């Protein structure tokens, strides 16, 4: 039973970390342009340095 005192807080912390990561990603605009991100992989960046 003593393992539970470690395992449950760990499980909760990991869940909370995932939740925090999701909130950060949303605030940072990671979900703003999902289709665009998929397409940007195909853009060559060699010719100039303008690409962000």
Q: Which of 3, 6, 36, 46 binds other proteins (CB under 8 A)?
A: 36
Sign of CA dihedral 14, 15, 16, 21: positive
Residue 32 interacts with other proteins (CB under 8 A): yes or no = yes
CB of 10 to other proteins, least distance (A): 11
DSSP H or E stretch at residue 8: helix 2-27
How far apart, in whole angstroms, are the C-alpha atoms of residue 7 and residue 22?
23
Residue 34 interacts with other proteins (CB under 8 A): yes or no = yes
CB of 39 to other proteins, least distance (A): 4
């Amino acid at each position: 039973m003593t393992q539970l005192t470690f395992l449950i807080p760990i499980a909760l912390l990991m869940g909370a970390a995932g939740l925090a990561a999701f909130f950060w990603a949303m605030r940072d605009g990671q979900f703003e342009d999902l289709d665009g991100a998929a397409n940007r992989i195909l853009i060559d960046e060699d010719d100039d340095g303008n690409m962000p």
